[in-house]
Amino acid sequence: MPAAEFSRWANMRPLISEFSFGYALTEEIVRGRNRVIRGAPIFPTQNQEGQEGGYDVELPLIGLPIFLQFKLSDYLQRSSAKEWNLFNGPYYRMHLRPIRLSEQHNLLLEWEQLGNEVFYVAPEFHTQDELNNFYLSCSIVNNSAFFRPSAIGSLPDENEHYVVYQRGNITGWLCSEEPRQVQKAFMGEQFEEYFSQLIRENQRELNLQYFRNITIQLVNFLEQNEQDIGKIKRYLQRIERRSIESQESVIGLYAYIARTYFDAQLFVFRYDENRAQQ
């Protein structure tokens, strides 16, 4: 077999799209398998001048905002793969954006370190058949890997870096010059248990004032990180001057910033104490 052909089969690019994975994962979170944990995705408005539509959250509520960044991963299935000896079996490789191209990872890391909930989430599968099967059996979450940016840490240089991990294995590795262990936040099947505890310990009242405050904090955070946000800052100031009653503009802006600068989907997670006791 020619070297190029061997390499193609040794390193399988994902046969699903990031959009398909993100959609399937989002729908499963929204439906909530046991209705104990409910996640409402917050979408930006069609434009930031106050058009209707874009989110489905009634305020105030008790919950926890969470950033999820969806990633895809290559599938490595040959013993000649570079990191094979770390697992002695097939594994996945999740690429991180190099800091020479984007400060995205560092922004996610710093935002988490300020006390916010942020996760990378990548599939532990790569084919359309697997996506279909897990979607129909409501087990996308069970077959996904969740990593906190803080577990990965700062990227050491401007070169390419990636996280390798294996289905059913809590330990992954950040691959730079020397591999370094990286722990998943939890195993996929522990999703409900993990987030139940996280929400119970950190939940807060989410009202319009909360979203105004957190949006201002996020804008200031980006400005301190030398991001070009002049237009967004002026728009936010107009919202404050108008003292509008609409939730849409400020919540939509927060979701827009999450999507644009962090490439992350904003969710509001809620825990149903009554259903948990049933």
**Are 73 and 13 contacting, i.e. CB atoms less than 8 angstroms apart?**
no
Q: How confident is the model at residue 51 (pLDDT cuts 50, 70, 90)?
A: very low
Q: What is the pLDDT of residue 31?
A: 84
Please give the structure tokens belonging to residue 146: 């969740």
Render the chain in DSSP notation, one character per residue. Answer: --HHHHHHHHEEPPSS-HHHHHHHHHHHHHH-SSSSEEEEEE---SSTTT-S-S----SSEEEEEEEEEE---EEE-STTSTTHHHHTS-EEEEEEPPTTT--HHHHHHHHHHTT-EEEEEEES--SHHHHHHHHHTT-TGGGEEEE-HHHH---SSSS-EEEEE-TT-SEEEEESSS-EEEE-SB-GGGHHHHHHHHHHHH-EEE-HHHHHHHHHHHHHHHHHTT---HHHHHHHHHHHHHT---SHHHHHHHHHHHHHHH--EEEEEEE-HHHHT-
Listed residue (213, 191, 217) closest to 269, CA to CA? 191
User: Any idea which of 48-52, 90-94, 192-196, 197-201 has the lowest mean pLDDT?
Assistant: 48-52
Q: How confident is the model at residue 45 (pLDDT cuts 50, 70, 90)?
A: low
pLDDT at 6 over 60: no
Q: What sign has the CA pseudo-torsion 105, 111, 113, 116? A: negative
Q: What is the pLDDT of residue 54?
A: 41
Round to whole Å and give the CA distance between 211 and 242: 16
pLDDT at 243 over 70: no
Q: What is the pLDDT of residue 271?
A: 84
Q: How many CB atoms lie within 10 A of CB 188?
A: 20
Q: What sign has the CA pseudo-torsion 8, 9, 15, 17? A: negative
Q: What is the pLDDT of residue 102?
A: 85
What is the arithmetic mean of pLDDT over 100-121?
A: 94
* Single pTM value for the model: 0.88
In one-letter notation, the amino acid at residue 53 is G
Q: What is the pLDDT of residue 71?
A: 97
What is the arithmetic mean of pLDDT over 100-119?
A: 94
pLDDT at 198 over 60: yes
Q: What is the pLDDT of residue 49?
A: 40
